[in-house]
Amino acid sequence: MAEVVLFHHLYGLTDGVREFAGRLRDAGHTVHVPDLYEGRVFDTFDEGLAYAERTGFEVLAARGVAAAESLPAGIVFIGFSLGVLPAQRLAQTRPGAAGAVLLESCLPHTEFGTEWPGGVPVQIHGGQSDPVFAGEGDLAAARSLVAAAPEAELFLYEVDRHLFADPGLPSYDPEAAALVTTRVLAFLDGLPRTVGARP
Instruction: Locate the domains of the chain by residue range.
Output: 3-189
Given a cut of 90, whether residue 152 has pLDDT beyond it is yes
Average pLDDT over residues 28-42: 96
Residue 157: strand pairing partners: 127
Confidence of residue 166 (pLDDT cuts 50, 70, 90): very high
Give residue 112's pLDDT.
Answer: 84
* Alpha-carbon separation of residue 169 from 15, 48, 87, 159 (angstroms): 9, 13, 22, 14
- CA 8 – CA 13 distance, rounded (Å): 5
Given a cut of 80, whether residue 34 has pLDDT beyond it is yes
Give residue 197's pLDDT.
Answer: 40
Given a cut of 80, whether residue 10 has pLDDT beyond it is yes
Confidence of residue 192 (pLDDT cuts 50, 70, 90): confident
Give residue 113's pLDDT.
Answer: 76
CATH of 3-189, one of 3.40.309.10, 3.40.50.1820, 3.40.50.620, 3.40.50.300: 3.40.50.1820
What percentage of the chain has pLDDT greater than the value 70? 96
Amino acid in the structure at residue 4 = V
Average pLDDT over residues 30-39: 96
Whether 112 contacts 89, CB under 8 Å? yes
> Quick one: which of 166, 180, 167 has its CA closest to 125?
180
- CA 132 – CA 50 distance, rounded (Å): 16
Average pLDDT over residues 155-183: 96
DSSP secondary structure code for residue 117 in this structure: P
Give residue 114's pLDDT.
Answer: 78
Given a cut of 60, whether residue 27 has pLDDT beyond it is yes
Average pLDDT over residues 140-145: 96
Average pLDDT over residues 125-138: 96
Given a cut of 50, whether residue 195 has pLDDT beyond it is no
What is the average pLDDT score of the chain? Answer: 93
CA angle 48, 110, 158 (to 5 degrees): 55
- CA 77 – CA 106 distance, rounded (Å): 13
Give residue 193's pLDDT.
Answer: 61
